[in-house]
């Protein structure tokens, strides 16, 4: 039996979808070996500088930043800084590796992963990269030749890599509290167990103003007869706007107990567990949660992400039969409402979508990733 990991360096950043898988793996590493040393490395201005310390892990940075495709003076200045960072980062990465002496380096996406994984590979340190999107991002593409293993969410991802022999299907870790109760228990806890299905919708922690305006129209259509329960997370920024839009349309939420608009869905685990359909973006973390739970979705991919990753994610799930996809250009409150009703009122279709999502789900992703990294030590 292989000995547990003792010194692991995680490098990640940019989005929660890159950071959370690394945190999940770090938690499992410490469960297996409470004496293990963990270090996270990210960018100095990334989301990771807040998320990682809050999770209780040591964190340090390298100077690394993106390149913008624009010739505006401000963008040219940004790109010159990025060139400087690109020259500084390899030396910083080597210094971090010498100081920490990891037995494995795991990159889970974001620009900071590149210099650390590349430097580790050149130093003979075992490396692995986890890609949470259906199609590899630029960093993963650049690291394919350096990484010992490339860990992906779904079998269909393998075709996008030049070195498929390196690819291991592990899934993307999902928090254990998503499975703490049954669907029936979650519905009872939320008070939505009267036989009507539960629709859950959200566009992210801050919301998306255009889509939230459409959700106000959607909720107004629902208010006529309340065909299902609906929990909508508007996001901190848009929450007041949604409430005001509903008031202007004559909808008093206190008169419609089946319709709940929240600033943020803090109890996401039981809410997602209870959901019969979710309307959402197509980020990697959300997809891993939906597939692990076997919950169908109506996805509106964000058109504002790099390389149009979200639509590629959503289309792969649509092809498998687990989701329906609408682009933002196709959306209105009316079209969203009609699409949701078409799924929620067709039980046979909904069951097929649930089966398709469950077939894609991997509940033991953290364990699979841990074992993959462990095997690199042999």
Least confident window among 197-206, 223-232, 330-339: 197-206
In a domain, 331, yes or no: yes
Interval 255-260 mean pLDDT: 96
In a domain, 29, yes or no: yes
Give yes or no: residues 337 and 204 share one domain: yes
- Which pLDDT score is estimated for 66? 56
Q: What is the mean pLDDT of the chain?
A: 90
Interval 20-49 mean pLDDT: 90
Taking alpha carbons only, the member of 42, 35, 29, 8 closest to residue 125 is 8
Give yes or no: residues 274 and 313 share one domain: yes
Dist. CA 82–CA 158, nearest whole Å:
31
- Which pLDDT score is estimated for 3? 81
Inform me whether the pLDDT recorded for 32 exceeds 90. Answer: yes
Distances (CA, A) of 368 to 51, 127, 168, 191, 299: 23, 15, 9, 36, 28
DSSP 67-133: -----SHHHHHHHHHHHHHHHHHHHHHHHHHHHH--SEEEE-SSTTHHHHHHHHHHTT--EEEEE-S
Give yes or no: residues 230 and 302 share one domain: yes
Give yes or no: residues 12 and 71 share one domain: yes
Give yes or no: residues 139 and 207 share one domain: no
pLDDT band, very low/low/confident/very high, at 78 (cuts 50, 70, 90):
very low
Inform me whether the pLDDT recorded for 75 exceeds 70. Answer: no
- Which pLDDT score is estimated for 41? 95
Inform me whether the pLDDT recorded for 64 exceeds 90. Answer: no
Q: Token pair 């998503």 is at which residue?
A: 178
Give yes or no: residues 34 and 150 share one domain: yes
Taking alpha carbons only, the member of 48, 58, 41 closest to residue 18 is 48
- Which pLDDT score is estimated for 81? 47
Give yes or no: residues 168 and 182 share one domain: no
CATH of the domain at 155: 3.40.50.2000
Query: Of 110 and 64, which is predicted with more confidence?
Result: 110
- Which pLDDT score is estimated for 63? 72
Give yes or no: residues 369 and 345 share one domain: no
In a domain, 2, yes or no: no
φ, ψ of residue 229 to 5 degrees: the values are -75, 150
Give pLDDT tens digits for 308-359.
889 999 999 999 999 999 999 999 999 999 999 999 999 999 999 999 999 9
Pairing of strands 7-11, 104-107: parallel
Give pLDDT tens digits for 155-186.
889 999 999 999 999 999 988 889 999 999 99
Give yes or no: residues 139 and 190 share one domain: no
Give yes or no: residues 143 and 194 share one domain: no
Give yes or no: residues 331 and 185 share one domain: yes
Give yes or no: residues 145 and 195 share one domain: no
Q: What domain range is 127 assigned to?
A: 7-173+364-375
- Which pLDDT score is estimated for 304? 84
Interval 193-215 mean pLDDT: 90
Number of domains in the chain: 2
Q: Whole-model pTM? A: 0.84
């Amino acid at each position: 039996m292989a000995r547990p990991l003792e010194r692991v360096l995680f490098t990640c950043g940019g989005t929660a979808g890159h950071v959370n898988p690394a945190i999940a793996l770090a938690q499992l590493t410490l469960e297996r070996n409470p004496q293990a040393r963990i270090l996270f490395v990210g960018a100095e201005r990334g989301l990771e500088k807040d998320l990682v310390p809050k999770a209780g892990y040591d964190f340090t940075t390298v100077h690394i930043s993106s390149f913008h495709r624009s010739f505006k003076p401000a963008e040219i200045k940004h790109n010159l800084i990025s060139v400087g960072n690109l020259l500084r980062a390899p030396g910083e990465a080597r210094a971090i590796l010498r100081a920490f002496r990891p037995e494995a380096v795991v990159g889970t996406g974001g620009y900071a992963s590149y210099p650390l994984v590349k430097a580790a590979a050149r130093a003979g340190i075992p490396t692995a990269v986890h890609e949470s999107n259906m199609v590899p991002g630029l960093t993963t593409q650049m690291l394919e030749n350096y990484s010992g293993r490339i860990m992906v969410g779904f079998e269909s991802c393998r075709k996008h890599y030049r070195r498929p022999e390196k690819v291991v299907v592990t899934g993307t870790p999902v928090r254990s509290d998503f499975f703490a109760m049954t669907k029936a228990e979650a519905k009872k806890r939320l008070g939505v167990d009267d036989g009507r299905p539960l629709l859950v919708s959200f566009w992210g922690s801050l919301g998306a103003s255009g889509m939230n305006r459409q959700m106000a129209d959607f909720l107004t259509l629902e208010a006529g007869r309340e065909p299902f329960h609906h929990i909508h997370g508007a996001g901190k920024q848009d929450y007041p706007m949604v409430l005001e839009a509903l008031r202007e349309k004559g909808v008093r939420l206190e008169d419609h107990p089946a319709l709940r608009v929240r600033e943020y869905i803090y109890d996401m685990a039981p809410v997602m567990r209870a959901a019969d359909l979710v309307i959402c973006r197509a980020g990697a973390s959300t997809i891993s949660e939906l597939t692990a739970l076997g919950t169908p979705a109506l996805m509106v991919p964000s058109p504002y992400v790099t390389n149009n990753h979200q639509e590629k994610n959503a289309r792969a799930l649509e092809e498998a039969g687990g989701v329906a996809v609408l682009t933002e250009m196709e959306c209105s409150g009316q079209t969203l409402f009609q699409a949701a009703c078409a799924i929620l009122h067709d039980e046979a279709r909904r069951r097929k979508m649930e089966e398709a999502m469950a077939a894609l789900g991997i509940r033991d992703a953290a364990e699979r990733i841990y074992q993959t990294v462990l095997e690199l030590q042999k």
